[in-house]
């Protein structure tokens, strides 16, 4: 092995890169690389943080892990669509919860102050009207309150980035797939789903780099064994 000749400062010449030793290549293919993948993952997260396109990868194979995997990124369009749906559900639940109550209160106060007598020519609420009002308020509480509370919880998860919408290419067929993944660190189990085209089992794993706002770099894996059976592997 010959070393590259030194270059004087300011000469404008670049030295030739040293050839890779064969033992480094052999150690990589044997499953014991000299440099671990975690270092490269950290570099990729930093580059993703700065918006670099050089780290965007397509479905590829891992010789060490014996799996096929691809990168996924945050889907802002799906995030806005899901937020809009939960906002509509929150509006519906709040209306179903508050409108019957406000209507009943307005009738009750109107009857107390004589407004009901002036409008309807009645002196008091009869038993049927009272029963209908109570049923209406009860249905509003039973239907509206659970929907409103669930909507508030879902919107809180979206706004605090506990639930993120992801999109990427299926490692098996290459079609675009979507998923909603929880990023809670207390949940160690990966999110599992299936491709809607080839029905291959997918495994989503999130890696978070916090810098102002969380940045997500996610991988999902699908593997096929030598005998043709499908099995999931951990990344």
DSSP state of 189: S
pLDDT at 39: 73
Percent of the chain residues past pLDDT 70, beyond the cut: 51
Helix (H, G, I), strand (E, B) or coil at 170: coil
Secondary structure of 91-151 as H, E, C letters: HHHHHHHHHHHHHHHHHHHHHHCCHHHHHHCCCCCCHHHHHHHHHHHHHHHHHHHHHHHHH
Residue ranges per structural domain of the chain: 37-76+162-231, 77-159
pTM of the model: 0.53
More confident residue, 231 or 63: 63
User: Is pLDDT above 70 for 94?
Assistant: yes
Per-residue pLDDT tens over the stretch 163-192: 777 777 777 777 788 877 776 665 566 677
pLDDT at 118: 47
CA 187 vs. chain centroid, Å, equals 14
Beta strands 213-224; 67-74: pairing state: antiparallel
How many Å apart are CA 103 and CA 129, to the nearest integer? 12
> Closest Cα partner for 69 from 173, 170, 208?
170
> Closest Cα partner for 143 from 101, 96, 102, 89?
96
More confident residue, 197 or 5: 197
Which backbone phi and psi does 84 adopt, to 5 degrees? -65, -40
């Amino acid at each position: 092995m010959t070393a590259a000749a030194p270059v004087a400062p300011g000469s404008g010449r670049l030295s030739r890169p040293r050839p890779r030793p064969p033992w480094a290549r052999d150690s990589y293919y044997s499953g014991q690389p000299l440099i671990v993948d975690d270092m490269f993952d950290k570099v990729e997260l930093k580059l993703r943080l700065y918006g670099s396109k050089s780290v965007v990868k397509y479905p590829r194979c891992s010789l060490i892990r014996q799996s096929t995997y691809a990168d996924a990124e945050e889907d802002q369009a799906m995030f806005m669509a899901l937020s809009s749906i939960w906002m509509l559900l929150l509006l519906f639940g709040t209306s179903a919860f508050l409108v019957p109550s406000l209507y009943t209160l307005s009738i009750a106060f109107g009857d107390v102050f004589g407004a009901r007598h002036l409008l309807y020519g009645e002196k008091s609420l009869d038993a049927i009207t009272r029963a209908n009002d109570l049923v209406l308020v009860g249905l509003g509480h039973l239907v509206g309150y659970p929907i409103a509370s669930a909507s508030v919880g879902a919107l809180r998860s979206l706004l605090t980035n506990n639930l993120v919408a992801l999109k990427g290419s299926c490692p098996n067929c290459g079609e675009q797939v979507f998923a909603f993944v929880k990023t809670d660190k207390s949940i160690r189990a990966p999110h599992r789903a299936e491709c809607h085209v080839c029905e291959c089992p997918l495994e989503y794993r999130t890696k978070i780099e916090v810098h102002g706002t969380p940045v997500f770099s996610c991988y999902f894996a699908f593997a096929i064994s030598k005998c043709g059976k499908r099995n999931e592997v951990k990344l």
